[in-house]
Amino acid sequence: MAMSHHLLLLLALLSVLVLPTSSAASASTLTQSSSSTISGDQTLASPGNAFQLGLFSASNHSKWFLGIWFTVSPDTVVWVANRDRPLNTSSGVLRVSDRGALVLADGATTNATVVWSSSSSSSSSDSPGAGAVAELRDTGNLVLTDAAGAVVWQSFEHPTNTFLPEMRVGKSLKTGAEWSLSSWRAADDPSPGDFRYVMAAPPGGAPELHVWRGARKTYRTGPWNGVRFSGIPEMTTFENMFQFQFTDTADEVSYMFRNRDGSPMSRVLLNESGVMQRMVWDNASAAWSNFWSGPRDQCDAYGRCGAFGVCNVVDAFVCACIRGFAPASEAQWYMRNTSGGCARSTALQCGDGDGFYLLRGVKLPDTHNTSVDAGATLEECGRRCLADCACTAYSAADIRGGGGCIQWFGDLMDTRYVDGGQDLYVRLAKSELDAAKRTRKFAAGITLVVAGFTLLLLSLAFLVWRKARRSKKVTIADDAAELMSGECPTYPPGVIRTATNGFCADNVIGRGGFGIVYKGQLPDGQQVAVKKLSSENTVQGLNEFINEVVLIAKLQHRNLVRLLGCCAHSSSERMLVYEYMSNKSLDAFIFDERRRASLSWKTRLDIILGIARGVLYLHQDSRLNIIHRDLKAANVLLDADMVAKISDFGIARLFTTTADRQETITKTIIGTYGYMAPEYAMDGTVSFMQDVYSFGVLLLEIVSGRKNHRSFNLIAYAWGLWEGGRSQDVLDAAIRGGCTGAELAQAAACVQVALLCVQECPSQRPPMADVIPMLSQQKAPVPRPRRPVVCTPVTGHPAAAALAVQAVREMVTCGSTELTITTLEGR
C-alpha cells in the first residue's frame, strides 16, 4: 500500500517537470531589437554552452516559468525569474524593453501582461535606456548591462534556491542589498517555500549563515574562523576541489566559493526540506551526486540541547549540560525534552571570583549576541571577558594564528561537539572550577587503578589524592611532578626554552590534542619535538599529561614514538620531549593529492606492518596491555626512513568512572569519528578490539589514499568493491598503475583483512596477533568477512536507545554506573 503510494508520487513528480530538451537558440545575448526575444522553446545559451535560459513548465504543464538550467542537465534549474507569478501557457516572451529592462510578458503584443521585470527587483531606479544588452554568461549569471557596459542588474544578485560558484550569499552593508536563498515550495513548484538561507551579521559580532524556516532558525554553520565555518570542520578536506572565500568588511559580509581547475561542476542547493546540499556532477554517470549536506545529524538541529547545553551525536543521551550547569527542568530533561536547556549551578561572582572552563572540540555557540575584535590576543580576550560581568564565554576568532577575540553575552545556544572543533572558554564561578579539579584528580587516581598499575603507583595516587584533599594550596604541577618522578628523565626548563628558540612561532610544527608542538635542538645537537601544554588547560590537560607520561615512559618499541623526557617546572610550563620525526604524520601523506603518489605500495605495506607491530606490542608484548583508543592517520608519525611510529597516548586506557555526567560525556567522545568501533560509540564498551577496528579503518585509508568521513563511507566503498571481486580497485589510483601483479594481490589481501577488522561484532575481528601473519600472507586462508555495519546512527537503534535511557535512569537513581570493561583477555 505505502509503496504503491510512494511510486505514484514519484511518477507524478517525474511527469510534472517537463523541460525543453532541444533548442533552436545559439545566441548568448538579447538586445533591444524587436526580433531579439526568447519565447516558446527558444533558449539563450551561454558562450561555452554551460547554461541555458528559457521557459520551462511545472505542475503538469499548467504553470510556466523563465529559468536558467545546466545544459547537460536540463532538469536542474538554478534560477527562476517569475517565481511568484507563473505564466498559464507557454506563450511567454522575454525581451529587453525600450527603457532597458528585462521584461517577461504573457505574449508578444504591447498590451500583454508583464509578469516579471528586472527593474522591479533592481536596486538602482535609473533605467539604462537605449543600448542595454542582456547576456547569459558561462557562470550561469544573467547580466544586464547599459550602453557603457556597466552592470545594471544580474541574476546572481537575486538568487533563488541555488548557490553557484562565483555567486555571493550575504549582504552589502553599503546598499543594504541582501543575497539569500529561498527553497522551492515543492519539487514541481518554484514559488518561494518555507526555508531561507541567509547571512546573519550582528552589528559588531561574528557573522554566520543560518537556515530559517519561517521565523524559526533551524541550522547554523557557525562563525567563520579564518579557514572554514566553525561547525563544518570537514570543509578543509574539500579544499582541493573548492576555494572558499569569506568577506567581512565595513562594506560587505559575504561568502562564496569557486571550483578549482579540473574540479567537476558543482552547486549548492537549499532543498525543500531545508537541507543545504552540495552536489557535484559525475561525468561518468551523467548525474549529480550528493557531496555534502547540512544539517548532518540531530546535533545540527538548532538549539537541540537548549541554552548552555552541548550536543554529542555519539553519546546515547545526545544532550549534556556544560560543566557548571544543570538541566533547567530535570523532569523534562530526563524525559528527553532538552529544549529547555541548562541553568548555572553556582551564580557568577563577577570579577576575580570567576574563571573559565575550557570546553574543547566544539562548534562555537550562536553568535547573535557577540562582539569581535580581530586584533586582540586570546589572553587579552580572557582578561576582557573577565572584566565584563555580562560576558559568558570567549574564543579565538581566527584559528590560523589562534588570535582574535569573540566574546559571548547571555545564553550559549546551539553548542555541539564536532571532530576538529574549536576551544570555547566558558565562564564559571571559581568554586565550580575547583570542584572540577577535585573530580578530575580523583578520576586520575581511578584511572591508575583500572590500568592495573603496581601497588606502588596505587599508593602514590592515593597519596596525591589525600594530599589534594588536605591542602588546597597544592598545585597541579606538584602532583604531576610527584607522579612522574622516576618515570622519565627531566630537563631543566631553560634547556627546552633555548632548544626551541624561546618557543618561537617559527618552530611550531603542530597543534596536538592538548597543546602546541615545537621543533627544537638540544645542546648535544639532537633534534626533538617538544609538546607544550597550554597553561589555561589545567584540568583535562593534566589528566592526559600524566597518562601519557606514565604510559609512554614505560614503553619502548621501534614503532612507538619515544619520549625522551619531560619538564614540569611550574603549572604554566609542562612539556614533553619526544624524538623528532622529520616526515611528520601519515595523514599529511596519504590524504595529500601530490604527496600520496610518492608513497609506493612497498612503503605503504611497511607502514601498515609497522603500525600493526606497534599495536601488537601495546596489546600484549609490553608489560602493560594497553589499549591506544585513538589510532588514526594523524597519530602515526614517520621518521626520516619512513618508519611508522604510533604517537599520542593522551587518552590511552582512560576509562569512564564516576556518576558525573560531564565525565561520561567527555570520555565518551574521546576518540575520532571515522575510526570509532560501533560498540564503543554505542555504549562505551572498551576492549582491545576497539583498536583492531580503528586499525582496519586506517588500513583501508592507507591502501586507498581516501579518508573515511561523514560524506564518504570508506568501509561501504571497500566492501562494495571486495564483494564485487574488485578489491584491487580499492588501491589508490595514484600508485595502482605502477604495481606488479604480486603487489596488487597483496593490496587485495590487505583489503580483506581490513574488512575483517571492521566487523560489527568484536568477537569476529581478528586479534592483533593474527593480523600480522594475515597481512604478510603467512596465515591462510584468511576468513571471509561478513557485511560490515557501515552506518550506525545511535538513534537508529531503538534497543540501544532504550538501554541508554535505562543506564541514565540507573545513574540518576543509584548515583553511580559502571562500564563494561572487557580488557583482560588472554595475553
Ligand X SMILES: *[C@@H]1O[C@H](CO)[C@@H](O)[C@H](O)[C@H]1NC(C)=O
d(CA 154, CA 134): 9
Please return the burial class of 616, using the count of CB atoms within 10 Å of its CB with bins 0-12, 13-18 and 19+: buried
Q: Is 285 in the site for ligand X (CB under 6 A)?
A: no
Q: How many angstroms separate the Cα of 390 from the Cα of each of 135, 264, 431?
A: 53, 48, 19
Q: Find the binder of ligand X among 272, 592, 606, 683 (CB under 6 A).
A: 272
Closer of 273 and 526 to ligand X (Cβ):
273
Q: If binding means CB under 6 A, how many residues of this protein chain bind ligand X?
A: 27
> CA 337, 343, 347: angle at the middle one, nearest 5?
170
Q: Find the binder of ligand X among 29, 71, 191, 339 (CB under 6 A).
A: 339
Closer of 332 and 823 to ligand X (Cβ):
332
95-103, 269-277, 547-555, 667-675 -> range binding ligand X (CB under 6 A): 269-277
Q: Cβ of residue 371: shortest distance to ligand X, in angstroms?
A: 10
d(CA 663, CA 659): 8
Q: Is 582 in the site for ligand X (CB under 6 A)?
A: no
Q: Is 91 in the site for ligand X (CB under 6 A)?
A: no
Q: Is 340 in the site for ligand X (CB under 6 A)?
A: yes
Pairing of strands 415-417, 354-363: antiparallel
Q: Cβ of residue 759: shortest distance to ligand X, in angstroms?
A: 28
Q: Cβ of residue 187: shortest distance to ligand X, in angstroms?
A: 6
Provide the 8-state DSSP code for 119.
G
Cα torsion angle, 487, 492, 497, 498, sign: negative
Q: Cβ of residue 210: shortest distance to ligand X, in angstroms?
A: 15
Q: Find the binder of ligand X among 21, 22, 26, 109 (CB under 6 A).
A: 109
Q: Is 263 in the site for ligand X (CB under 6 A)?
A: no
Closer of 82 and 666 to ligand X (Cβ):
82
Closer of 240 and 329 to ligand X (Cβ):
329
Q: Is 283 in the site for ligand X (CB under 6 A)?
A: yes
Q: Find the binder of ligand X among 7, 108, 113, 816 (CB under 6 A).
A: 113
Q: Is 342 in the site for ligand X (CB under 6 A)?
A: no
Closer of 12 and 640 to ligand X (Cβ):
12
Q: Is 801 helix (H, G, I), strand (E, B) or coil?
A: helix
Q: Find the binder of ligand X among 192, 226, 410, 420 (CB under 6 A).
A: 410
Q: Is 302 in the site for ligand X (CB under 6 A)?
A: no
Q: Find the binder of ligand X among 7, 9, 10, 15 (CB under 6 A).
A: 15
237-245, 335-343, 512-520, 752-760 -> range binding ligand X (CB under 6 A): 335-343
> CA 536, 537, 539: angle at the middle one, nearest 5?
125
Q: Find the binder of ligand X among 31, 191, 293, 521 (CB under 6 A).
A: 293
Q: Is 259 in the site for ligand X (CB under 6 A)?
A: no
Q: Cβ of residue 775: shortest distance to ligand X, in angstroms?
A: 37
Closer of 177 and 387 to ligand X (Cβ):
387
Q: Give 572-627 as a DSSP string.
A: TEEEEEEE--TT-BTHHHHT-TTGGGGS-HHHHHHHHHHHHHHHHIIIIISSS---
d(CA 205, CA 511): 27
Q: Is 625 in the site for ligand X (CB under 6 A)?
A: no
Closer of 87 and 316 to ligand X (Cβ):
87
Per-residue exposure over 112-137, b if at least 16 CB sit within 10 Å of its own CB, e if not: eeebbbbbeebeeeebbeeebbbbbb
CA torsion 257→261→264→265, rounded to 10°? 50
Q: According to the annotation, is 532 in a ligand binding site?
A: yes
Q: Find the binder of ligand X among 7, 13, 24, 60 (CB under 6 A).
A: 60
Q: Which of 632, 440, 452 is nearest to 539 (CA)?
A: 440
β-pair partners for 357: 426
Closer of 172 and 332 to ligand X (Cβ):
332
Q: Is 436 in the site for ligand X (CB under 6 A)?
A: no
Q: Cβ of residue 376: shortest distance to ligand X, in angstroms?
A: 19
Q: Find the binder of ligand X among 51, 55, 94, 106 (CB under 6 A).
A: 106
Q: Is 49 in the site for ligand X (CB under 6 A)?
A: no
Cell 585513538 appears where?
A: 630
Q: Is 12 in the site for ligand X (CB under 6 A)?
A: yes
Which residues lie below 8 Å from residue 120, measured CB to CB, with a gap of 6+? none
d(CA 634, CA 638): 10
329-337, 516-524, 590-598, 703-711 -> range binding ligand X (CB under 6 A): 329-337
Q: Find the binder of ligand X among 409, 453, 465, 591 (CB under 6 A).
A: 409
Cell of 722: 571486495
Q: Cβ of residue 384: shortest distance to ligand X, in angstroms?
A: 15
Where would I find the H helices in 278-408? 330-334, 378-387
Which residues lie below 8 Å from residue 63, measured CB to CB, with a gap of 6+? 57, 86, 87, 88, 189
Q: Is 191 in the site for ligand X (CB under 6 A)?
A: no
630 is catalytic: yes
d(CA 258, CA 242): 6
Q: Find the binder of ligand X among 44, 87, 553, 774 (CB under 6 A).
A: 87
Q: Cβ of residue 623: shortest distance to ligand X, in angstroms?
A: 50
Q: Find the binder of ligand X among 73, 121, 259, 277 (CB under 6 A).
A: 277
Q: Which of 167, 174, 179, 171 is nearest to 143 (CA)?
A: 167
β-pair partners for 91: none
Q: Cβ of residue 250: shortest distance to ligand X, in angstroms?
A: 21
Q: Is 420 in the site for ligand X (CB under 6 A)?
A: no
What mask of x and - would describe binding to ligand X in positions 114 to 133, judged by CB under 6 A? -x------------------
Q: Is 275 in the site for ligand X (CB under 6 A)?
A: yes
Which residues lie below 8 Å from residue 347, measured CB to CB, with a gap of 6+? 429
Cell of 296: 548532518
Q: Cβ of residue 115: shortest distance to ligand X, in angstroms?
A: 5
Query: Binders of ligand X among 626-685, rule CB under 6 A?
Result: none
CB-based contact 752:675 (threshold 8 Å)? no
* Residue, CB closest to ligand X: 340
Beta-sheet strands, E only, within 122-265: 133-136, 142-145, 151-154, 162-163, 169-172, 178-179, 181-186, 189-200, 208-213, 216-220, 242-248, 252-259
Q: How many angstroms separate the Cα of 17 from the Cα of each of 184, 187, 196, 233?
A: 13, 8, 23, 36
Closer of 215 and 780 to ligand X (Cβ):
215
* C-alpha gyration radius of the chain: 30
Q: Is 337 in the site for ligand X (CB under 6 A)?
A: yes
Q: Is 501 in the site for ligand X (CB under 6 A)?
A: no
154-162, 265-273, 597-605, 708-716 -> range binding ligand X (CB under 6 A): 265-273
What mask of x and - would describe binding to ligand X in positions 145 to 174, judged by CB under 6 A? ------------------------------
Closer of 342 and 563 to ligand X (Cβ):
342
Q: Is 34 in the site for ligand X (CB under 6 A)?
A: no
Cα torsion angle, 313, 318, 322, 328, sign: positive
Cα torsion angle, 84, 279, 163, 133, sign: negative
- The catalytic position among 630, 660, 691, 729 is 630
Annotated binding site: 532
Provide the annotated active-site residues: 630
Annotated binding site for ATP: 532
**Contact footprint for ligand X (CB under 6 A):** 12, 15, 60, 87-88, 106, 109, 111, 113, 115, 271-273, 275, 277, 283, 290, 293, 329, 332, 337, 339-340, 369, 390, 409-410
